[in-house]
Structure 1
Amino acid sequence: MNNSKKVAGVAGIASMLWLGMAAAITANQRRLVFNPNIKREVLRPRSSGHRTRPIVLRAKDGTKLSGWLMTPSVVGPHPGVVYFGGRSEEVSWVARDAGKLFPGMAVLAVNYRGYGDSQGDPAEQHMVDDGRMLFDWLAERGHVDPKRIAVVGRSLGSGVAVQVAMERPANSVVLITPYDSILAIAKRRFRAMPIEYVLRHRFESVKYASALTAPTYVLRAAFDDVVPHSHTDLLVAKLGRLQKDETVPDSDHMNIPYLAATQDRIAEFLSTQFMQPLA
């Protein structure tokens, strides 16, 4: 075999491997982006500062979504919070910690499709559509002030929160370990692959950031090997109304929402925003 045939053979094998990897990413991208956790993190979630009740809501296509509504025991109307979890997160822990995280606020924490007891399969469009429905549902509660509803998103959920806040009148926004886009992070991880041609669930928050008009608080982990700070920097540079950008000491991507330092910061920020005169 001459050299030209050897080169052609190697190139052919490389092309087949490359195509095989691209096909594998295409077929498994849902698993790469989402990691549904059906096991409840807290067996009997109950907020010490709220009345806690499990709820089941139906998405517009009829899919059942399960979670918790936490309501302050005093008479309303109360400010409200809609919480969106991370890639592997089952949200029962929010019901447990709501008294510290969201004092005096009505809180809605619902698992994504395929997470916890929620039905269906996760997808970016479903998460955003369902997120808008959850915001509207909370705003329609008689004990909630519809002009004082915040959205809070952690990691993957920061991308949901940004898109919901862009299309709904959010009073304020909290983003925990947010990113510019899942597409950008995937391109960093799979440098040799044409990831932009195969990835469907892109969560391109950086495209929507400038449209956010609500005061936005960004919380970073001190040590984050999942969302590098450079990806958060790109988002922060585009945010329409950045109020704070802070790093929580001794935190990492996994433990940041559970830390007292994080919870105190979020509670203080939201309480302050909700006390501001409404325009």
Structure 2
Amino acid sequence: MRILVVGGSGLIGAHVVDVLRERGHRVTTVARTARPGVDHAIDLASGSDLRPLLAGHDGVVHATRTEEQRPVATPIHPRFRRDMVEPVERLFGAARAEGLTRGVVMGSYYTYFDRLHPQWRLAERHTYVRCRVEQAAAARAAGLPVAVVELPFVFGRAGDRLPNWSPPLERWARSRTPLLAPVGGSAAVSARSVAEIAVGALERASDDDLPVADENLTWHEMLTRIAAAVGRPRRVRRLPAAVVRTALASGGLLQALARKESGINHRYLADLMLADLFVEPTTGRALEPALRETFDGAR
């Protein structure tokens, strides 16, 4: 197959490119900015004509991301839709017009939990989740099979590309500040596992929602393992749930006073932080190599 990878220079996109090439497929890479290994520098949000870019390909992978925690001026849905949904509408519409037969969108495990726990009202409460749901629908509306890989915390590295959340966690783990973790936890996966699952979906022309996890970790377990990975193993203390709720509620109030909001609404963020955001079944693959790869560079 010949596959176009949008976001091919990012952490996940780079691993997808590697796995595609290992399996004998041809790859064209697209990113917002030019850098070594990027075949085309294009911002999908610009409304560029995508059909010439897609011509001659069999499938396309959309692996760009949006910062869901950064507060922006309200109303935020138009901005998130412009960044997350409209580029996918254009990309997959052009893919269908050029006769492509398969695609993959890198999504979020929040859409998995939105299906699993409708009483949580995630798409209603969180603009980021709403736009992830709309993004998947927009890709599939083009009429070709599109698999949505629903990502939890992703560990690993690709050159100098790391998870965007890892530098502050690394600094915290290396500092003298006490490590504190509330109840709850999250699924976690390596970038390599994501890539193998995505490429398998392309090869099958899958149209499935694919929640992924190598391991499910409590926050306590995750911080303990990160501290060990940076070379400063120590005890992680319990953070009372009431403190988490008060801190996040205060942050949400400050955002509201500034007429701003994050894609994950701070009014309801504590409910997510204190939940077990676990995905079953897991792949059974060991997460430790990717975890150490993420943080070993700090030593």
- The TM-score, its normalising length taken from structure 2, stands at 0.35
Greater fraction of residues in helix: 2
TM-score by length of 1: 0.37
Structure with the greater alpha carbon radius of gyration: 1
